[in-house]
Amino acid sequence: MEAIKSLREPIVCVLGHVDHGKTTLLDDIRGTSIAEKEAGRITQKIGATEISYNILEREIKTAFKNIPIKIPGLLFIDTPGHVAFSNMRSLGGALADIAILVIDVNEGLKPQTIESIDILKKFKTPFIIAANKIDAVPYFVNTSNTSFANAIKMQRREYIEELDNRIYKLISDLYTYGINADRYDRISDFSKTFAIVPVSAKLKIGIADILMVLSGLAQKFLENEIRLTYEKTLGTVIEVKIEESIGITLDTILYQGMLKRGDTIAVNTSNGPARTRVKAILVNSNRGLKESEKVVAAAGIRVLITDKIPVIAGTSMIKIDENTSEDEAFKTIINE
C-alpha cells in the first residue's frame, strides 16, 4: 500500500490539562525525548513534529496487520496545558484537522481539559481521547513498548476492573459535556462515538493504537480537508524570533500549498499587513535544522524573511504574486 499522492499530512493537535502527558506521548511518537529537557517540564510553546508514511506504517504494523494507510504521514502540534497559555491552545485548535485530547485516566476531567473540549467544539475539530497513565492504575502488571490491545491481555482481572471503572467514569463525565465516547475497541460506528484509547506514555503502551485510530479516522472522514492543492499557499506563524545576526525568523505551520525560497509573502505586523520575501526555509532533520529550497504542506518550517518587520505570532502567512496587494490577500482568506 502506498500513500495517496493527492493528500497532505493531517495536522494533529495535542491538547489537555497541564501534566497529563502530552509531550511524553509525542516523545514516544517521535522516538526522541523533549519532555525531559523542558525547563521544569512545563511546556511553554507550540512545537511541531512530523512523522513520515514509513514510520507510521511500521508503527501500526507492529500490532495491527492489514490496515491500509493512505495518508502521507502526520504532523503533530504540541501545546502547553498550563492555565496561562489559553491562546496557544486556541491556536492549536484552529490549526488542527484532528486532535488528541490527553486525559490522565486517574485524574479525569480538569479545567484545561474542559477548556480544550470547548476549543475543539468551537472549531468543530474531530478528536480522539488518549486516556493516559494506565500504568498508574492499581494491580498493573509491568509491561512496556506494546500496543494497548496486547498489553491488556497480560493484565489481571483486578486491573481490568480498576481500569474499566476509570474509563466508565470518564465516559460518564464526558457525556455531561455532550460527548458520547467509548473505549475504541468497543466502538462499532466511529462516526457517532468518540474513541478513547488507553495509553501509558511513560511506558510506551498504546502508541500503535493511537496512530491506527487517528489514521483510520483521518482517511475515512477528512479526505476533503486534507486534499493537497497548489492554488493557494497558506500558513500560520506560531512564533517570531528576532536574531541580531540573521534577521527575523517565523516558525510556521504550512497547511496548504507549496512555499519556495524567493517567494513573496503577506504577513501581519503590528503596523498592519505587510509584504516580504522568503530568504531561506529551514526544516527539521535528524541532525537539527537544514535548509530546504521548497516545502509542501503540511509542514512545520522556519522561514527567514528579508525585511525587519514586526510580525505578529498567531496570524496568517499567505504566498502572493507581484500583482496582489497584501491587503487584498488577507481579504480573500477572511471571506473563505
Q: Is 133 annotated as a binding residue?
A: yes
16 is an annotated ligand-binding site residue = yes
Tell me whether residue 125 or residue 132 sits nearer to Mg ion (CB atom): 132
192 marked ligand binding residue: no
**Residue 89 interacts with Mg ion (CB under 5 A)?**
no
| Nearest position to ligand GTP, beta carbon | 81
Minimum CB distance to ligand GTP smaller for 15 or for 278: 15
Nearest distance from C-beta of residue 203 to ligand GTP, angstroms: 6
Q: What residue ranges bind ligand GTP (CB under 6 A)?
A: 16, 18-24, 35, 41-43, 80-82, 132-133, 135-136, 200-202
Q: CA-CA distance, 146 to 34, in Å (whole number)?
A: 21
Residue 34 CB, shortest distance to ligand GTP, in Å, is: 9
302 binds, among ligand GTP, Mg ion, none (CB under 5 to 8 A by kind): none
Interacting partner of 10 out of Mg ion, ligand GTP, none (Cβ under 5 to 8 A depending on kind): none
Residue 53 bridge partners (DSSP):
none
For residues 22 and 166, which CB has a smaller minimum distance to Mg ion in the complex?
Answer: 22
E strands along the chain, which residues? 11-16, 47-52, 73-78, 98-104, 127-132, 181-183, 194-198, 234-243, 247-256, 258-260, 264-269, 272-285, 288-292, 294-296, 299-305, 316-320
Distance CA 48, CA 11 (A): 9
Let me know how many helices (H) and strands (E) the chain has, helices first. 8, 16
Site for Mg ion, residues 2 to 41, rule: CB under 5 A: 22-23
- Round to whole Å and give the CA distance between 294 and 230: 13
Q: How far is the CB of 98 from ligand GTP (least distance, A)?
A: 18
Residue with C-alpha cell 506560531?
238
* Residue 79 in marked binding region: yes
279 in a labelled binding site: no
Nearer to ligand GTP, 45 or 277 (CB): 45
CB of 81 to Mg ion, least distance (A): 6
Residues contacting 66, CB < 8 A, separation 6+: none
300: helix, strand or coil: strand
In 3D, which of 116, 139, 132 has the Cα closest to residue 196? 132
Q: Which of 21, 43, 96, 134 binds Mg ion (CB under 5 A)?
A: 43
Alpha carbon distance 119, 121 (integer Å): 5
Closer Cβ to ligand GTP, 137 or 329, answer by number: 137
Consult the annotation and say whether 135 binds a ligand.
yes
Point out the annotated binding site for GTP.
16-23, 78-82, 132-135
Binding site for Mg ion (CB under 5 A): 22-23, 43
